[in-house]
Protein backbone atom coordinates (compact mmCIF):
# COMPACT_ATOMS: atom_id res chain seq x y z
CA UNK A 1 0.00 0.00 0.00
CA UNK A 2 1.25 3.48 -0.93
CA UNK A 3 0.19 6.61 0.95
CA UNK A 4 0.96 10.10 -0.32
CA UNK A 5 1.53 13.08 1.91
CA UNK A 6 3.34 16.31 2.65
CA UNK A 7 7.11 16.33 3.15
CA UNK A 8 8.62 18.14 6.13
CA UNK A 9 12.21 16.84 5.69
CA UNK A 10 13.28 14.89 2.63
CA UNK A 11 15.14 11.61 2.69
CA UNK A 12 14.45 7.92 2.27
CA UNK A 13 14.50 5.31 5.05
CA UNK A 14 13.13 1.84 5.63
CA UNK A 15 12.38 0.44 9.03
CA UNK A 16 9.99 -0.90 11.61
CA UNK A 17 7.09 1.33 12.57
CA UNK A 18 6.49 2.28 16.19
CA UNK A 19 2.97 3.71 16.46
CA UNK A 20 1.33 5.70 19.25
CA UNK A 21 -1.88 7.69 19.52
CA UNK A 22 -0.22 10.05 22.02
CA UNK A 23 1.62 13.26 21.06
CA UNK A 24 5.41 12.94 21.31
CA UNK A 25 8.08 15.31 22.60
CA UNK A 26 11.82 14.91 22.31
CA UNK A 27 12.04 16.80 25.59
CA UNK A 28 11.02 14.45 28.37
CA UNK A 29 9.30 11.56 26.58
CA UNK A 30 12.40 9.38 26.19
CA UNK A 31 15.94 8.86 27.44
CA UNK A 32 18.44 10.26 24.92
CA UNK A 33 21.17 7.87 26.08
CA UNK A 34 19.13 4.65 25.66
CA UNK A 35 16.23 5.63 23.37
CA UNK A 36 13.74 4.12 25.84
CA UNK A 37 10.40 5.90 26.19
CA UNK A 38 9.47 7.27 29.62
CA UNK A 39 6.89 5.52 31.80
CA UNK A 40 4.44 8.44 31.53
CA UNK A 41 4.05 7.98 27.77
CA UNK A 42 1.79 5.46 25.99
CA UNK A 43 4.93 3.85 24.50
CA UNK A 44 6.44 3.34 27.98
CA UNK A 45 9.38 0.95 27.91
CA UNK A 46 9.58 0.84 24.09
CA UNK A 47 12.67 2.05 22.27
CA UNK A 48 12.50 4.63 19.45
CA UNK A 49 16.10 4.14 18.27
CA UNK A 50 16.21 3.16 14.63
CA UNK A 51 12.41 3.05 14.30
CA UNK A 52 10.03 5.07 12.16
CA UNK A 53 7.95 6.87 14.75
CA UNK A 54 4.27 7.29 13.85
CA UNK A 55 2.28 9.66 16.07
CA UNK A 56 -0.51 12.25 15.90
CA UNK A 57 1.57 15.40 16.53
CA UNK A 58 4.48 16.73 18.53
CA UNK A 59 4.44 18.74 21.72
CA UNK A 60 6.94 20.50 23.83
CA UNK A 61 9.53 23.19 23.87
CA UNK A 62 12.01 24.32 21.24
CA UNK A 63 14.69 22.63 23.34
CA UNK A 64 13.36 19.40 21.83
CA UNK A 65 15.38 20.05 18.65
CA UNK A 66 18.57 20.19 20.71
CA UNK A 67 17.60 16.97 22.48
CA UNK A 68 16.97 15.46 19.04
CA UNK A 69 20.49 16.49 18.03
CA UNK A 70 21.98 14.66 21.01
CA UNK A 71 19.78 11.64 20.30
CA UNK A 72 21.26 11.52 16.78
CA UNK A 73 24.77 11.62 18.30
CA UNK A 74 23.90 8.74 20.64
CA UNK A 75 22.15 6.82 17.80
CA UNK A 76 18.95 6.77 19.84
CA UNK A 77 16.77 8.92 17.55
CA UNK A 78 14.12 7.52 15.23
CA UNK A 79 15.29 7.14 11.62
CA UNK A 80 12.05 8.70 10.36
CA UNK A 81 8.86 10.33 11.58
CA UNK A 82 5.27 10.32 10.34
CA UNK A 83 2.47 12.26 11.96
CA UNK A 84 -1.02 13.52 11.25
CA UNK A 85 -0.05 17.17 11.62
CA UNK A 86 3.44 18.42 12.43
CA UNK A 87 3.51 21.34 14.81
CA UNK A 88 6.49 23.72 14.50
CA UNK A 89 8.67 22.18 17.24
CA UNK A 90 8.58 18.62 15.89
CA UNK A 91 9.07 19.92 12.33
CA UNK A 92 12.11 21.91 13.50
CA UNK A 93 13.48 18.74 15.07
CA UNK A 94 13.21 16.85 11.77
CA UNK A 95 14.69 19.72 9.76
CA UNK A 96 17.59 20.51 12.07
CA UNK A 97 18.53 16.86 12.58
CA UNK A 98 17.99 15.52 9.06
CA UNK A 99 15.26 13.06 10.06
CA UNK A 100 12.99 12.27 7.09
CA UNK A 101 9.47 13.31 8.04
CA UNK A 102 6.01 13.54 6.50
CA UNK A 103 2.59 14.70 7.66
CA UNK A 104 -0.89 15.45 6.25
CA UNK A 105 -1.19 12.05 4.58
CA UNK A 106 -4.10 11.14 2.32
CA UNK A 107 -4.97 8.41 4.87
CA UNK A 108 -4.72 8.63 8.65
CA UNK A 109 -1.34 7.04 9.45
CA UNK A 110 -2.59 5.85 12.86
CA UNK A 111 -5.32 3.79 11.21
CA UNK A 112 -3.26 2.17 8.43
CA UNK A 113 0.20 1.71 9.98
CA UNK A 114 0.70 -0.63 12.94
CA UNK A 115 3.61 -1.16 15.28
CA UNK A 116 5.89 -3.76 13.73
CA UNK A 117 4.98 -2.99 10.11
CA UNK A 118 8.00 -2.64 7.85
CA UNK A 119 7.63 0.62 5.98
CA UNK A 120 9.52 2.70 3.46
CA UNK A 121 9.35 6.43 4.11
CA UNK A 122 10.30 8.22 0.91
CA UNK A 123 9.86 11.82 1.99
CA UNK A 124 11.78 12.99 -1.07
CA UNK A 125 8.93 11.78 -3.30
CA UNK A 126 6.22 12.22 -0.65
CA UNK A 127 5.23 8.53 -0.53
CA UNK A 128 5.05 6.01 2.30
CA UNK A 129 4.94 2.33 1.38
CA UNK A 130 3.87 -0.42 3.77
CA UNK A 131 6.20 -3.25 2.73
CA UNK A 132 5.06 -5.92 5.20
CA UNK A 133 2.41 -5.86 7.88
CA UNK A 134 2.81 -7.05 11.42
CA UNK A 135 0.71 -9.74 13.04
CA UNK A 136 0.74 -7.70 16.24
CA UNK A 137 -2.55 -6.20 17.41
CA UNK A 138 -1.17 -3.04 19.08
At 94-106, the pLDDT tens digits run 998 999 999 999 9
Cβ 9 vs Cβ 95: under 8 Å: yes
- Spans of the chain, pLDDT less than 50: none
Instruction: Convert the pLDDT of each residue in 55-74 to its tens digit.
Output: 999 987 778 888 888 999 99
DSSP state of 8: E
Q: What angle is formed at CA 109 by the lines to CA 106 and CA 112, rounded to 5 degrees?
A: 100
State the catalytic residue, choosing from 61, 96, 111, 134.
61
Q: Classify each residue of 51-83 as buried b or exposed e, where b means 16 or more C-beta atoms within 10 Å of its C-beta.
A: bbbbbbebbbeeebbebbbebbeeebbbbbbbb
Torsion of CA 117, 118, 119, 120, to 10 degrees: 180
Is there a catalytic annotation at residue 61?
yes
pLDDT at 136: 58
Amino acid sequence: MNIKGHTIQDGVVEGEALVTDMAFSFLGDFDIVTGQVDERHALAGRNIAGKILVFPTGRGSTTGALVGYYARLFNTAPVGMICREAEPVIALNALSNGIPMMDRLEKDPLSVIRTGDLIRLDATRGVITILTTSDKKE
